[in-house]
Structures are given as C-alpha cells and as structure tokens.
Structure 1
C-alpha cells in the first residue's frame, strides 16, 4: 500500500489483560502508517525490536540503522517496528507527513505505525504493558525495546544506543540463532 493512503485512526486492541508478565506479543495491534494493521501475533516466533521514533529529533539519523537491521536481519527473522510519537513534541503534524519524510529521506521499507502515544495514561496498550509489567517507559525518542519470539521483554536500550551497536546486534543474533 502507498504510505500516503493511510488511515489516521490508531486502533489498539489488546487481546489479553495488560498487567500479567505472561502477556505475549500477540496481545497488541498497531495501525500501520500504510493503512491496515500490524498484529503482533503474526510475528510469534520472531524477535521484535520496537522503537519510538520522531522525525525532528537529533536521533532521527538512526532510521538508517533501523533500515539496515531490517535489511540484514529481517530475512533471518527479526522484525523492526518504528512507532512515530509526538510525546516529546518532535514529530511532524500528520501520518502522511511522517510517511513522506521517511520515504524521501531514508527510503524506509520497515514496518511503521501511525503516530502513537508511548507515555502516560494515553499510551498505546503495548507501552502501558511495558510500563506496568517491566517498569519501562520511553524517556525520549528512539528508545528501543527488544522482545523475544514469545513477546517477552529481553532488553531495553536508550536513545544513545545505535540500532546497529554491538549490544543490540549481540542480543538479536542470540535470538535468531546466528
């Protein structure tokens, strides 16, 4: 689908309760910036790196590394999901603008959601689950959350940790059996 033909409504449909640590990745859905929905249940058995992003942030060049991870490790099982958020007031004004910015400047082909809240009471259920179950809430843009194939938290990484850092690559390779 064309990124410009997206539906701007965020749908978050948790299947299971959010407070249990055993809630697996199939519990969450995100609206795709391309239209349609990403159902994390479809990624069962695959590690997933979820990254809250913003187009106007100093860390935005990390999109290049996210795309490289997607290109290099996607065929081996890794899913890289970008979650644009304006919680830190550094995102463009619409999903269409974000999609165009990422396509023109980074030629992104990795999965990307609509603009989504990642903090506070209005946070997407996935991020509320992270906060309530693991005590993790993004402190800034480009925080990274690595899940195993069962949807359980493996590790979180701050904004300063590049997606292609040894720390992240080591965890990813351990999960995909490299």
Structure 2
C-alpha cells in the first residue's frame, strides 16, 4: 500500500501531471467559417476566459457589442473570450455564413467564435458539460461563464446580465488576477 501511495505521489508531482490541461479545456471545437479547429487547451490554458453561448437571432444578440467592448478592455491583460453559437433555443442561423455575418459584419466581433454547437443536455459538447457541472447549464442564449487561469468557473451570469454589469466585470478582473 505504501508503495502505491509513493507512486501516486510521484505521479502527482511529475511535470506532465502538473502541466495537464483543466477538464473544461479538454477537446477541440471547429472555428466559425474556418477549416481549422480550436484546441481549447493549447489556445486558452492558463488564461482568464469568458465563454458565452450565443444565437444570431436572439433578442440578446446586441450583447455582442458589449462583449466585444469587454474583450477589448481586458485582452491586453490576457483575457480570452469564446462565443459558442447554438440552436438549442431555436434562434441560431441555419448556416455558418449567416452566423458569421451577424457576428463579424453586424457586430464587429473579433474574439474567437466557433461553429454552432449543442450546449445543454446529454448531447452538449464537453466544454458545456463541464461548465454545467461547475456551475449551471445555460437556460437561454447569452449565458456568460467566467473561468480563471486554473480552469475553474469564477462565476456565471444569465442572459439578463449585460456585459458591462459591474458583477460581471468584477468576475473578469478576479479571473485575470488569478495565478496560473
């Protein structure tokens, strides 16, 4: 038994174990209107992150402007943001061209966007399964999850919370201040 404890202790302190990616960042998602995929670990590990499930034709879509402003305000401090379009609430465009037009042309989004994904229920992508486990599954579009540098949800916010809400800004600042 003691040998196993020692072996487990060695594993826990080995560089590969310590450098492993947080569960929330395991996997890849296809980038919106691109041939490449986003390796979540490679792209976001050790960085503060805001994840938002979006929908092009949702009444909350004007929040794209506020999200972009939040991203621009804090990206110099390492903040990353990823928008994940979803038709789970029946308000997403039927094709990626339209989704991209809404995000990029209509709202000037420069933060990372993925192809539409399932974000709730048993078929949700891994990212949203872990977000639900750490906090709550989205119950509508434009749920916002603030993740610290260790891959833990600092806080999450409903669609009703605007991107400039002081509580959301405070959570972002807390995530930025976290140490990797």
TM over 0.5: yes
Moved beyond 4 Å, runs of 4+: none
1:174 offset after TM fit, Å?
Answer: 2.2
1:32 has 2:31 as partner: yes
Structure (1 or 2) with the greater helix fraction: 2
- Correspondence for 1:17: none
What TM-score, normalized by structure 1, do the two folds share? 0.81
Q: How far apart, CA to CA, are the structure 2 residues paired with 1:134 and 1:72?
A: 26
What TM-score, normalized by structure 2, do the two folds share? 0.81
- 1:25, 1:150 within 8 Å by CA — same for their partners in 2? no
Q: How far apart, CA to CA, are the structure 1 residues paired with 2:121 and 2:109?
A: 28
SS at 1:50's partner residue? strand
Q: How many residues align?
A: 156
Please give the residue correspondences for 1:75-86 in structure 2 after superposition, counting only pairs within 5 Å: 75-86=76-87
Q: Name the larger-Rg structure.
A: 2
Please give the residue correspondences for 1:1-178 in structure 2 after superposition, counting only pairs within 5 Å: 23-35=22-34, 36-41=36-41, 42-131=43-132, 133-134=133-134, 136-177=136-177
CA gap 1:43/1:171 in 2 versus in 1, 3 angstroms? same
1:135 offset after TM fit, Å?
Answer: 5.3
User: Gapped runs of 5+ residues in structure 2?
Assistant: 1-20
Root mean square deviation of aligned Cα: 1.8
